[in-house]
Amino acid sequence: MNQLPSSCQGKDVFERMNFLYQASQSVINKNLALASHYNSLMIGCAKKAVLRMEPGIKRTMCKACQSPLVPGKTARVRLVSKPVKAVKWTCLACGSSRKFPTKEGYRLWWDQPEAVRCVFDYTPKPQKESFKSGIESSASTSKQEIEIVDSSKKKKNVDKSSTPGPS
């Protein structure tokens, strides 16, 4: 009974967060306070639904005032070499700063392949086939898988019998 869920958990919240992020990015030039408000609403949605934001999105917002960080407009970006090579982002609205390491070969855990446990495909499938034909097709694939496994066992048995054993 391994059935995939019909929809992503918290999908509506992710959609709302996506909308708020896009809205804050589009309003930066006109009203920085409104853009900051949209970002704070987005963070509130994530906290309430206990969802994690992607690190790439987190890096584009100030942790203190939630204003969007745009180099040259709302943030100052500097390369720092001591004590560790890093990129230092300073928010021009509140003055807080963040450092991100620039070590060669450094990757966030989020971006590493070991971090991905499974990928779900939530795109809607066309429903042209009837329900019974779907069951029949899944049963035929499971029979094929069983046959492949059985044939590999036979090959292993043949290989074991063909190799000379200890005398």
- Asked if residue 3 has pLDDT above 70, the reply is no
- Asked if residue 35 has pLDDT above 90, the reply is yes
3-class secondary structure for 79-136?
Answer: EECCCCCEEEEEECCCCCEEEEECCCCCCCHHHCHHHCCCCCCCCCCCCCCCHHHHHH
pLDDT band at 61 (very low <50, low <70, confident <90, very high): very high
Helix, strand, or coil here: 167? Answer: coil
Q: Please, which residues have CB within 8 angstroms of residue 89's CB and are 6 or more apart in sequence?
A: 59, 69, 75, 76, 77, 97, 98, 99, 100
Which pLDDT score is estimated for 7? 62
- Asked if residue 94 has pLDDT above 60, the reply is yes
| Low-confidence winner among 6-10, 19-23, 67-71, 75-79 (lowest mean pLDDT) | 6-10
Helix, strand, or coil here: 75? Answer: strand
Which pLDDT score is estimated for 112? 81
Q: What is the pTM of this model?
A: 0.63
* C-alpha to C-alpha distance for 50 and 46, rounded to whole angstroms: 6
Which pLDDT score is estimated for 91? 96
* C-alpha to C-alpha distance for 28 and 74, rounded to whole angstroms: 9
